[in-house]
């Protein structure tokens, strides 16, 4: 099996069986974003406690790349400190721009499957939608303390 096939399978697995899809029952930081060029939309919820992301869930509609990326992102950031999560946003953004990145920095290996998106500029916004939602929410919540 070729690497591209494996990556496609990983993306489709997260799309068809998304992790952390749903809503957080109690009070949570909620960020709604959409990509008007393609119609992808996400509602990201995070439960923050003591400067850490205790829980992350999402709802939304969109292409396989945006929904798989949201699934991967929520898996990746649970348990991380806010500062660590924001560093991963920058790393992911660099990867989407085609830069060489140290994939060992991502706690979830599945994220590597999204590397190929960089070859398709029109799809980068799809892959980064959930990450941008997280970044926006965390930066708004922690304006002073980062």
Coil, helix or strand at residue 25: coil
Q: CA-to-CA distance for 15 and 145, rounded, in angstroms?
A: 34
User: What pLDDT, in 10s, does the model give residues 62-116?
Assistant: 999 999 999 999 999 999 999 999 999 999 999 999 998 998 888 888 999 999 8
User: What pLDDT, in 10s, does the model give residues 17-51?
Assistant: 999 999 999 899 999 999 988 899 999 999 999 99
In the chain, where the domains are located: 3-141
Task: Specify the pTM.
Answer: 0.93
The candidate with the shortest Cα–Cα distance to 133, out of 62, 49, 109, 101, is 62
Q: CA-to-CA distance for 141 and 137, rounded, in angstroms?
A: 6
Contact by Cβ (8 Å): 66, 117:
no
CATH 3.40.50.1820 correct for 3-141: no
Residue 63's alpha-carbon distances to 15, 16, 59, 145, in angstroms, are: 8, 11, 13, 35
């Amino acid at each position: 099996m070729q690497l591209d096939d494996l990556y496609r399978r990983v993306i489709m697995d997260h799309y068809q069986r998304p992790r952390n899809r749903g809503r957080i029952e109690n009070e949570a930081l909620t960020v709604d974003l959409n990509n008007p060029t393609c119609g992808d939309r996400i509602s990201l919820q995070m439960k923050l406690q003591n400067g850490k992301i205790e829980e992350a869930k999402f709802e939304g509609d969109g292409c396989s790349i945006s929904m798989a990326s949201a699934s991967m992102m929520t898996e990746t950031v649970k348990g991380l400190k806010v500062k660590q999560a924001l560093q991963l946003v920058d790393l992911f953004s660099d990867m989407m721009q085609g830069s060489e990145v140290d994939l060992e920095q991502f706690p979830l290996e599945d994220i590597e499957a999204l590397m190929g998106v960089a070859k398709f500029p029109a799809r980068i916004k799809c892959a980064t939608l959930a990450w941008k939602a997280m970044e926006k929410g965390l930066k708004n919540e922690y304006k002073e303390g980062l």
